Amino acid sequence: MYWTLELASKIEDAPWPATKEELLDYANRIGAPMEVIENLEEIEDDEEIFECIEDLWPDYPTKDDFFFNEEEY
Protein backbone atom coordinates (compact mmCIF):
# COMPACT_ATOMS: atom_id res chain seq x y z
CA MET A 1 0.00 0.00 0.00
CA TYR A 2 1.46 3.33 -1.04
CA TRP A 3 -0.27 6.55 -0.05
CA THR A 4 0.59 10.05 -1.17
CA LEU A 5 -1.06 13.29 -0.04
CA GLU A 6 -2.89 13.55 -3.35
CA LEU A 7 -4.25 9.99 -3.12
CA ALA A 8 -5.18 10.22 0.56
CA SER A 9 -6.96 13.53 0.03
CA LYS A 10 -9.47 11.71 -2.23
CA ILE A 11 -10.88 9.82 0.76
CA GLU A 12 -10.38 12.51 3.40
CA ASP A 13 -14.08 13.40 3.16
CA ALA A 14 -15.32 9.80 3.15
CA PRO A 15 -18.27 9.05 5.44
CA TRP A 16 -16.21 8.13 8.51
CA PRO A 17 -16.42 5.78 10.37
CA ALA A 18 -16.39 3.30 7.52
CA THR A 19 -15.54 -0.28 6.66
CA LYS A 20 -13.27 -1.29 3.81
CA GLU A 21 -16.28 -1.98 1.59
CA GLU A 22 -17.83 1.42 2.37
CA LEU A 23 -14.54 3.15 1.55
CA LEU A 24 -14.27 1.25 -1.73
CA ASP A 25 -17.85 2.18 -2.60
CA TYR A 26 -17.16 5.85 -1.79
CA ALA A 27 -13.96 5.88 -3.85
CA ASN A 28 -15.76 4.34 -6.82
CA ARG A 29 -18.67 6.81 -6.59
CA ILE A 30 -16.42 9.88 -6.55
CA GLY A 31 -14.23 8.57 -9.38
CA ALA A 32 -11.08 8.32 -7.28
CA PRO A 33 -7.90 7.31 -9.15
CA MET A 34 -7.25 3.60 -9.56
CA GLU A 35 -4.32 3.89 -7.12
CA VAL A 36 -6.77 4.80 -4.34
CA ILE A 37 -8.94 1.77 -5.15
CA GLU A 38 -5.87 -0.50 -5.20
CA ASN A 39 -4.68 0.84 -1.82
CA LEU A 40 -8.08 0.24 -0.28
CA GLU A 41 -8.27 -3.26 -1.75
CA GLU A 42 -4.94 -4.11 -0.04
CA ILE A 43 -6.48 -3.52 3.40
CA GLU A 44 -6.92 -6.81 5.21
CA ASP A 45 -10.62 -7.52 5.15
CA ASP A 46 -11.57 -8.29 8.72
CA GLU A 47 -14.72 -6.16 9.00
CA GLU A 48 -12.73 -3.50 10.88
CA ILE A 49 -14.35 -0.08 11.13
CA PHE A 50 -11.98 2.79 10.42
CA GLU A 51 -12.63 6.03 12.28
CA CYS A 52 -10.53 8.34 10.10
CA ILE A 53 -7.90 8.42 7.41
CA GLU A 54 -5.16 8.19 10.06
CA ASP A 55 -6.34 4.63 10.73
CA LEU A 56 -5.35 3.76 7.15
CA TRP A 57 -2.22 5.94 6.99
CA PRO A 58 -0.91 6.71 10.51
CA ASP A 59 1.59 9.26 9.17
CA TYR A 60 -1.10 11.27 7.37
CA PRO A 61 -0.08 14.91 7.81
CA THR A 62 -2.64 17.28 9.26
CA LYS A 63 -3.17 20.85 8.14
CA ASP A 64 -1.18 21.93 11.20
CA ASP A 65 1.87 20.17 9.77
CA PHE A 66 1.94 22.69 6.93
CA PHE A 67 1.93 25.81 9.07
CA PHE A 68 4.59 27.01 11.42
CA ASN A 69 4.72 29.53 14.21
CA GLU A 70 6.97 32.42 13.21
CA GLU A 71 7.69 33.13 16.88
CA GLU A 72 9.44 29.76 17.12
CA TYR A 73 11.96 30.75 14.45
Alpha helical stretches, state H, 1-73: 5-9, 20-30, 34-41, 53-56
Give the pLDDT of residue 64. Answer: 64
Number of structural domains found in the chain? 1
Reported as a pLDDT band with limits 50, 70 and 90, residue 71 is low
Task: Compute CA distances 45 → 37, 41, 69, whole Å.
Answer: 14, 8, 41
Domain that holds residue 64: 5-72
pLDDT in tens, 45-70: 778 999 999 999 988 887 666 555 55
Reported as a pLDDT band with limits 50, 70 and 90, residue 39 is very high
Task: Compute CA distances 6 → 24, 71, 73, whole Å.
Answer: 17, 30, 29
